[in-house]
Amino acid sequence: MKNWFLKLFLTSAVSIFIFMSFSARADIIEFKIKKLFIPITTSFNGNSVNINGATDIEGNIVFIVSSKKEVHTLTQKVKTDGIWVTKKIAKVDNIPDFYAILTTAPINIDAYKDFRYTVGAFNAKYNIVYNKTSNSDEYVWRKLVKAKIDNGKYIYNPNAVKRRGRYLFDVSLDLPSNIENGYYDFRAFVETENGLVGFYNELVLIERDGFTKFVYASAINYSVLYAIIVIFISLLIGYGVSFVGKRR
Amino acid sequence: MYVYLPIAEMAVSVLSLIALGCGVGILSGMLGISGGFLLTPILILMGIPSSIAVASQSAGVIATSTTGVMGHWRGGFVDFKMVVYIVIGGVMGSSFGVWLFSYLDKAGNLESTIKISYVVLLGIIGTFMFLELGRTKFKRRNATKIQKFHHHNIFHHLPFRTKFKKSRLYISVIPPIFIGFFIGVLSAVMGIGGGFMMVPAMIYLLGMHTSVVIGTSLFQTLFVSINTTFWQASVNNTVDFLLSLVLLTGGVVGALIGVRLSKYLKVEQLRFILALIVMAVAIKLFVDLLSIPLDIFSVVSGEASK
């Protein structure tokens, strides 16, 4: 009960603060994310990011969430001698691992070729490093985006943003458990008859924390030491079990 | 309840992992096998990337083989001279295997290679287990016939012969090194201990005395799995120790249950159940390789696939 009241109070306070801060201005959109750091601990199984915001602009609120851009490898299962084997067919650079579009109403993604906002993964400035297929780069790119959508890494939810009254809105984003570490850029603007208006962004850090961070950092940065520790602990467990077995 | 695997970068049901470890542990306790050849393909079927499943399993093999080694060492059932030669081959083989693993991973063929290898291996093991069961039944029906301890084959006529007192052998050192090398490669690429192949090879190919076979084989498994784990962790960064730990927890509990259960079940029945499981996993993997995949295209971030 107390916790519920506290949440309501904080949400209201944040909303009022946002509203007060831009009430004197025009064409403004602002939002607050409760947690700017999402730890990936041993019990992490995806996470919900709750956002509260306000705008004085009439129109379709558009949220774009994007992770850092990096190289991706596209593989294809090919039937060889009756067996399906995996082959690397293309490498594409400069694309985010995670990408989400959340709006109050459906938008025509293909209409946005304006790269200022990179609305829609299909409009991104991708860079094909190699394409081993006989198909066009566009074909490879579309297959990659489709694979990302199937993985839950590229999301388009046209009714995720809910307006609460004339100014306030809120949105919730469910991040998958197979998400990558790093900064995630949360951007918001409004789609109006005059195009895209207003712009606001926040960065959220999603990173391994605690034991998972320790294990990962050790495995990557001190791999030899990590190997020795893994071997030592395994030997210890094996010896411990044999010792218990002997006593029994 | 889920556990996030930091190297595999995915969340997996901790209860299903413990149940899997426990299930394989029960079989280990009842039949005296490490169960790696069963655990790794099931992990792959659960969605764990092949490279992580194989490498993490090798850390688990260290623990299980240490437990076995201690018991056999105390009993004096180890031919240390034979261990030296087999381990030389095993370390060379597993080092080569880790390089091969890395090469296949970079080429994008690792997953298919591991699956095909498992289909072949489990198919052979399952078939042999069924044949062995049939032969045991046949032997029991017929009167016991005195057999020769072992037959001399080509391995016994190769150069560099030496005496293995404990094994009661005078053979070339080449076959033990060669067998160790072969098992070492399989251990690195498939994440298995290799005991189920090493033991018959020692008995039928080398002609070793059965009393020292298991202890000697376990020593080889221990050294090879240490070598494999070291290289997989330090070069390929594919050992997810959290995965190994959860599986080991279930495995230890399962092994203790298995030892108790073995008193109430006949060994032949257990072997029959294991043969069925082995064949079922082989068939499932084989069907997966033949049937049209749900996702023809898949994408991974980074240079190499996991």
Tens digit of each residue's pLDDT (9 = 90 or more) over B255-264: 778 777 777 7
Which H or E run contains A95?
strand A83-96
Q: Is a pLDDT exceeding 60 seen at residue B284?
A: yes
Q: Is a pLDDT exceeding 70 seen at residue B146?
A: no
Tens digit of each residue's pLDDT (9 = 90 or more) over B165-178: 887 778 888 989 99
B252 touches chain A (CB under 8 A): yes
β-strands A99-103, A83-96: how paired? unpaired
| Phi then psi dihedrals of residue B169, to 5 deg | -135, 155
Which chain A residues are within 8 Å of B95, Cβ to Cβ?
A: none
**Nearest residue on chain A to B297, judged by CA atoms?**
A76
| Phi then psi dihedrals of residue A207, to 5 deg | -150, 150
Tens digit of each residue's pLDDT (9 = 90 or more) over B199-236: 878 887 888 877 788 888 888 888 988 998 998 899 88
Contact B299 A72 (CB under 8 A): yes
Does ipTM top 0.85? no
pLDDT of amino acid A8:
67
Which chain A residues are within 8 Å of B295, Cβ to Cβ?
A: 77, 147, 150
Q: Which B residues in the span 85-124 are in contact with A, Cβ-Cβ below 8 Å?
A: 107-109, 111-112, 116
Per-residue pLDDT band at A53 (split at 50, 70, 90): very high
Query: Which of B4, B229, B295 lies nearest to residue A43, judging by beta carbons?
Result: B4
Tens digit of each residue's pLDDT (9 = 90 or more) over A134-159: 888 888 888 888 888 888 888 888 88
CA gap B193, B190 in Å, rounded: 9
User: Do residues B23 and B254 touch, judged by C-beta distance below 8 A?
Assistant: yes
Per-residue pLDDT band at A131 (split at 50, 70, 90): confident
Q: Is a pLDDT exceeding 90 seen at residue A225?
A: yes
User: Do residues A38 and A205 touch, judged by C-beta distance below 8 A?
Assistant: yes
Of B260, B26, B63, which is closest to residue A248 (Cα–Cα)?
B260
**How many Cβ atoms sit within 10 Å of the Cβ of residue B13?**
14
pLDDT of amino acid B259:
73
Better-scored residue on pLDDT, A86 or A169:
A169
Q: What is the mean pLDDT of residues A118-128?
A: 63
**Nearest residue on chain B to A213, judged by CA atoms?**
B6
Give me the amino acid identity at B281.
V
Number of H helices, E strands in chain A: 4, 13
DSSP 3-state assignment of A7?
A: helix
User: What's the farthest any 2 CA atoms get from each other in chain A?
Assistant: 80
Cα A93–A97–A100 angle (5° rounding)? 125
Give me the amino acid identity at B77.
F
Q: What is the mean pLDDT of residues B226-249?
A: 91
pLDDT above 90 coverage of chain B, percent? 17
Mean of the per-residue pLDDT values for chain B?
A: 83
Rounded to 10°, the helix B36-45/B50-75 angle is 160
**How many Cβ atoms sit within 10 Å of the Cβ of residue A107?**
17
Which chain B residues are within 8 Å of A82, Cβ to Cβ?
A: 290
| Phi then psi dihedrals of residue A112, to 5 deg | -95, 95
pLDDT of amino acid A139:
86
CA gap B289, B114 in Å, rounded: 11
User: Do residues A158 and A107 touch, judged by C-beta distance below 8 A?
Assistant: yes
Tens digit of each residue's pLDDT (9 = 90 or more) over A93-102: 888 889 898 9
Per-residue pLDDT band at B163 (split at 50, 70, 90): confident
Strand ranges, E, within B49-151: none
Q: Is a pLDDT exceeding 80 seen at residue B42?
A: yes
Please list, in sequence order, all residues whose beta carbon lies within 8 angstroms of the beta carbon of residue A236, skipping any fewer than 6 positions away.
none
pLDDT above 70 coverage of chain B, percent? 92
Cα A238–A239–A240 angle (5° rounding)? 90
A178 touches chain B (CB under 8 A): yes
pLDDT of amino acid B155:
66
A24 touches chain B (CB under 8 A): no
Contact A87 B296 (CB under 8 A): no
Residues pairing with B12 in the sheet: B3
Question: How is B235-246 classified by DSSP, letter by letter?
Answer: II----HHHHHH
Tens digit of each residue's pLDDT (9 = 90 or more) over B103-140: 888 777 787 888 888 898 888 888 888 887 887 777 76
Better-scored residue on pLDDT, B253 or A206:
A206
Tens digit of each residue's pLDDT (9 = 90 or more) over A177-205: 888 889 999 989 898 887 778 888 999 99
Give how far A211 is from chain B: nearest CA, Å. 9
Question: How is A72-128 classified by DSSP, letter by letter?
Answer: EEEEEEEEETTEEEEEEEEEEEEEES-EEEEESS---GGG---TTTT-SGGGS--EE
Per-residue pLDDT band at A121 (split at 50, 70, 90): low
A30 touches chain B (CB under 8 A): no
Of B50, B222, B42, B239, which is closest to residue B122 (Cα–Cα)?
B42
Residue A33 half-sphere exposure toward CB, CA atoms < 13 A: 21
Per-residue pLDDT band at A17 (split at 50, 70, 90): low
Per-residue pLDDT band at B305 (split at 50, 70, 90): very low
Residues pairing with B298 in the sheet: A75
Residues pairing with A102 in the sheet: A63, A157
What tokens were used for A146? 């489709």
Q: Is a pLDDT exceeding 90 seen at residue A133?
A: no
Q: What is the mean pLDDT of residues B183-192?
A: 86
Contact A238 B64 (CB under 8 A): yes
User: Do residues B1 and B14 touch, judged by C-beta distance below 8 A?
Assistant: yes
Exposed, middle or buried by CB within 10 Å (0-12, 13-18, 19+), for A248?
Answer: exposed
pLDDT of amino acid A171:
93
Tokens 């016994």 map to which residue?
B156
Q: What is the mean pLDDT of residues B21-31?
A: 81
What tokens were used for A121? 């993964």
pTM summary value:
0.77
User: Do residues B208 and B202 touch, judged by C-beta distance below 8 A?
Assistant: yes
Better-scored residue on pLDDT, B72 or A61:
A61
Mean of the per-residue pLDDT values for chain A?
A: 83
Q: Is a pLDDT exceeding 60 seen at residue A114?
A: no
A199 touches chain B (CB under 8 A): no
**How many Cβ atoms sit within 10 Å of the Cβ of residue B201?**
21
Q: What is the mean pLDDT of residues B40-62?
A: 87
Per-residue pLDDT band at B304 (split at 50, 70, 90): very low
Of B252, B276, B249, which is closest to residue B17 (Cα–Cα)?
B249
